[in-house]
């Protein structure tokens, strides 16, 4: 039952926040315009990743409130959360201002470095 509650919380947070963020992005014209290099033919609002990130965080908060995640969880996985924040900020800056591929790659590399510093390893390359 707890898993269903966490899923539903995350689902509704993502649904509401993505709709809300889409309205804000449309209002302030934060999006992608059509061009010869793009497939879409009309304005496409950006920043949807922020809504998904809020849903992930909301799911973990609910899991903690239900006692499924200990209070030490946030500290134990702090490098994951730092990397998560770096990815969110990199995407947000790219959506708002547009950043170079090098700067985007640097943000992704820093996020990966956080995972490595946190002890994340690859166990296997096979299936």
Note the pLDDT tens digit of each residue in 39-50: 888 888 899 999
Note the pLDDT tens digit of each residue in 10-40: 999 999 999 999 999 999 988 888 878 878 8
Average pLDDT on 80-90 reads 96
pLDDT at 1 over 80: no
pLDDT at 121 over 80: yes
Q: What is the pTM of this model?
A: 0.83
pLDDT of residue 35: 79
Are residues 63 and 47 in contact, defined by beta-carbon separation less than 8 angstroms? no
**Closest to 99 in 3D by CA, of 87, 90, 109:** 90
């Amino acid at each position: 039952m707890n898993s269903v509650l966490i899923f539903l919380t995350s689902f509704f947070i993502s649904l509401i926040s993505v709709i809300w963020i889409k309205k804000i992005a449309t209002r302030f014209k934060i999006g992608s315009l059509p061009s010869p290099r793009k497939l879409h033919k009309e304005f496409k609002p950006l920043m949807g990743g922020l809504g998904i990130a809020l849903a992930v965080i909301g799911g973990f908060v609910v899991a903690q409130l239900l006692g499924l995640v200990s209070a030490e969880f946030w500290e134990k996985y702090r490098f994951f959360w730092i990397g998560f924040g770096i990815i969110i900020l990199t995407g947000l800056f790219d959506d708002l201002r547009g950043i170079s591929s090098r700067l985007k790659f640097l943000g992704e590399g820093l996020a990966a470095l956080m995972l490595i510093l946190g002890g994340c390893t690859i166990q296997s390359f096979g299936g």
